[in-house]
Amino acid sequence: MNGVLFLITLSTAGLFALFVPAILVAIANAETDLATEMTLLASVGAFLMLAILTAISGRRRNTERSLGFLALVCVWIATPLFGAISFMVLADIAFLPAWFEAVGAMTTSGVSVLARETAPRGLLFWRVLLEWYGGFLTLASIVHVLAPAGFGGLQATGSRLMAGGHDTSLYRPEAYRALLLQYSVITGIILLGLMVFGVKPLDAVMLGMISAATGGFLPFVSPLEDNIGGGAITVMALGLCAGTLSVFWRRRIIRRPGRIFPNNMEAKILAAIIVALTVVYAARIVEVSGGSALQNLVPALREGFFTASSLVATSGIETRPGVIALLPNIVVLAVIFVGAGVYSTTGGVKIFRIGAMWIYAIAELNRLIYPNSVDRLRFGDALIRRDAMQAIWTYFIVAVLVIGLGAMLIALTATGFEAAVVMAVALFSNAGPVYNALQPATSEVTHQWPAFSALPYQVTYVLGIVIMTVGRLEVLVVLAVLNIKYWYNR
C-alpha cells in the first residue's frame, strides 16, 4: 500500500505547489489577505506532504496492477478533497459546494458555484490552475493506468512511449516529465498567441490553461467576446482543437504533420465533425443575426468554429449566451457524449469507441450472410480485437446506465426531467457549462432548471461529484476498485 500512499501524496504535493503562482498573482493585485491565507495553506500542505514522502521514502512500492487501479481512484478522491479545503478557506463556502467546485475544476468539467463578480483575481487564478492541473492528471491517468490496462477498449501501444515502458513508471516522478513538458509547451503556445492578439498577460495565461485543459471555466462574468477580440477567439478555438488530439498525435504534428490523417480514422472523423458543426453554426448565426449574409459571414464562421471546437472538446464555453442553443438539445448532447480523441483531456465516450462499435456491428451483420467469413476488423490503423470490443460495449452500456440513473436521481432532488438529463450528460462528459447554455430563457421553467450555485438540496452536489468523477475515470476502473469480493479474498 506504500505505492498507493505515494501517488496520493505526489498528486497532492503538485496541488500545493500550484499555490506559488497563485500567491504571486494575489500579491500583484494587492489582495493581501488572500495571499496570506494561501501562504498558510501552502505551508501546512507542503509540510504534511513532505513528512509523508519522507516517512515512506526507501520503502518498496507495490507495483501490482490492482493497486494501481486503487491508487488512481484514491488520487481522484483525495486531491479534490484538498482542493475543497482551499475553497472553504479562501472563498468561505460550505464543504459540499466547495467539494463540488474542486471536482468541477479537476475533472475539467467547468461547473462552478463561485460568485465570479465578487471573487478576487487571485482566487479566480487558483480556480483556473486547478482546472489546468486536472487536465494533466487526466492525461497521466490515461497514459499510465487506463490505457495499459485496456479499460474500455483503450489500446496500450502508444502509452508506453510516455509511460517509460515499465509498470514501475507509475511510481517514478520522472516518468511524468515528458507528458508535463508537452502539456506546458502547448499551454505556452496558446497564451503567446492570445497575447499577440492583445489579450492582457494574466487573462492570456488563464485562457491558455483553460484551452489546453479543454476546461469550461471562464474567469469573466461578462461574455467571452466582450473581453477578447476575434483573433484571440480563433486562437482559443485552435487551442481547444489541440486539446481534442491524442498526446501522441501532437508529437506527429511537430515531427511529421503530413502523417496526421493517413490511416488515422479518428482524426479524420474529428476534423469532419468540427467542420460540419462550424458550417451549421455559422449558418444559424447568420440566420438569427439579420443584416447582410456576406457581411456577417466571416464573424459567423469564426464564432461557429469556436463553438464547434468547444463542443467537441467537451468544454462548453460560449462566445456569448445562446450560441450553443442554436442547435437542438439532442444534437448538442450527442456531440458532448461522444467527445473527441482518446489520450486527450476531453470527456465523453470518445470517437474511437463509437467507430469501433459501428464497424463491429456491420461485420456481425455481414456474418449473418457469410457465416464462415473471417475478417480483420480495423478502425484506421487500429486493429479491433474481440476482447477489446467486449470492453467497449461494457463501457458504453455502463456509461448509459450511469447517465440514466444520475438523471433520475437529479430529477428527484433538484430539477425537472429535461434539465436532469442535460445535467447528467454534461457532468458525465465533463462539459458542465452546456447545462447553463441549454437553459430555456422563459421564466416559467427557470425554477426547474436551477443554476449550480442554487441547487435546492445538498445531496445533488454529491450526485454531481460522483457523476463527474466516474465520467473522468472511464467508469470501469471505479467498478473494478469497488469489487469487494476481490479485495476480501486477496
Q: Is 151:479 a contact under the CB 8 Å cutoff?
A: no
Report the pLDDT averaged over residues 22-40.
Answer: 94
DSSP code per residue over 414-448: TS-HHHHHHHHHHHHTT-THHHHHT--S-GGGGGG
Which of 73-77, 114-118, 167-171, 284-288 shows the lowest per-residue confidence on average (mean pLDDT)? 167-171
Question: Is residue 56 predicted with pLDDT exceeding 70?
Answer: yes
Q: Is 274:267 a contact under the CB 8 Å cutoff?
A: no
Q: Are strands 378-379 and 382-383 parallel, antiparallel or unpaired?
A: antiparallel
DSSP at 169: G
- For the stretch 158-203, pLDDT in tens is 555 555 544 446 667 777 888 888 899 999 999 999 999 999 999 9
Cross-strand bridge partners of residue 378: 383
**What's 53-96 look like in SS3?**
HHHHCCCCCCCCHHHHHHHHHHHHHHHHHHHHHHHHHHCCCCHH
**Closest to 75 in 3D by CA, of 20, 30, 18, 136:** 136
Q: Assign 317 to helix, strand or coil.
A: coil
Q: Does the predicted model carry a pTM greater than 0.85?
A: yes
Distance CA 69, CA 73 (A): 6
Distance CA 441, CA 42 (A): 42
What is the CB neighbour count within 10 angstroms for residue 361?
12
Amino acid at 207: L
Q: Which residue has the higher pLDDT, 427 or 384?
A: 427
Question: Is residue 217 predicted with pLDDT exceeding 70?
Answer: yes
Q: Which residue has the higher pLDDT, 65 or 363?
A: 363
Cell 466516474 belongs to which residue?
Answer: 470
Q: pLDDT class for 360, splitting at 50, 70, 90?
A: confident
- For the stretch 377-410, pLDDT in tens is 777 777 777 777 888 888 899 999 999 999 999 9
Q: Is 241:267 a contact under the CB 8 Å cutoff?
A: no
Helix axes 177-196, 247-255, angle to 10 degrees: 70
Burial (CB count within 10 angstroms: exposed 0-12, middle 13-18, buried 19+), residue 186: buried
Report the pLDDT averaged over residues 263-286.
Answer: 90
- For the stretch 86-133, pLDDT in tens is 999 999 999 999 999 999 999 999 999 998 888 999 999 999 999 999
Distance CA 98, CA 103 (A): 9
Residue 170, pLDDT score: 64
Q: Is 298:202 a contact under the CB 8 Å cutoff?
A: no
Residue 362, pLDDT score: 83
**Following CA atoms 175, 176, 177, 183 in sequence, which dihedral angle do they give, to the nearest 10 degrees?**
150
Question: Is residue 23 predicted with pLDDT exceeding 80?
Answer: yes
**Closest to 405 in 3D by CA, of 353, 345, 475:** 475
**Closest to 413 in 3D by CA, of 450, 468, 360:** 450
**Closest to 384 in 3D by CA, of 349, 423, 358, 402:** 358
Distance CA 374, CA 268 (A): 27
State the average pLDDT for the chain. Answer: 85
Q: pLDDT class for 218, splitting at 50, 70, 90?
A: very high
Residue 166, pLDDT score: 47
Q: pLDDT class for 469, splitting at 50, 70, 90?
A: very high
Domains of the chain by residue range: 388-488
Distance CA 14, CA 21 (A): 12
Please report, for residues 212, 214, 350, 472, the alpha-carbon distance to residue 403 in angstroms, rounded to integers and kept in the order given: 26, 21, 16, 13
**What's the grid cell of residue 1?**
500500500
Q: Which residue has the higher pLDDT, 77 or 64?
A: 77
